[in-house]
Amino acid sequence: MKKWLFFLLLLVVFLLSACSNNDELSGKTFDISVVAMSPNDTSANYTPVMTLEFSDGNKVKNTRDDEEGVYELKEDKLVILFKNENEHLEVEFTLKESDKEFSEYSAEISDLDFQMVDSTQVSKYKGLYQKLWDNHFEIIER
């Protein structure tokens, strides 16, 4: 009986680990870039706003500003949350396949939330929040 219970428990552990390790972003790095058209509208410039390193445990790091947070990827939505004791920044991107050969995804911000507890303190996320007001981004794998 004990052997049967042990094997059943082992099977459940393997199934749970297989189901939770299906994150296609883990181990990858992407530039989240603003698309700016040139004055004559014949070419576009891509300026990175942040560089995101995704890792196991749904952790994400913005290497441009040394910010660590968490993320969730569900279907066509990527939600990123950075927070500390004074503020939090939550960004929800709606993703679609990019039509550009050098870009993995095209993205638009579907929700952007920034909150500060004490506005007299120096903000770590306000600058990034302001950069994200642009609505269209290309997500380019590095």
Give tens-digit pLDDT for 32-84: 998 776 666 555 678 899 999 999 999 999 999 899 999 999 999 999 999 99
pLDDT of 90-127, one tens digit each?
Answer: 999 999 999 888 899 999 999 999 999 999 999 999 99
pTM: 0.77
Query: Hey, how many other C-beta atoms are within 10 angstroms of the C-beta on 7?
Result: 10
Closest C-alpha among 106, 59, 64, 105 to residue 82: 59
Residue type, 68: E
Q: CA torsion, points 94, 97, 41, 52, in degrees to nearest 10?
A: 60
Asked if 56 contacts 92 with a C-beta cutoff of 8 angstroms, the reply is no
One DSSP character per residue, 97-111 reads E-SSTT-SEEEEEEE
What is d(CA 7, CA 76) in angstroms, rounded to the nearest whole number? 37
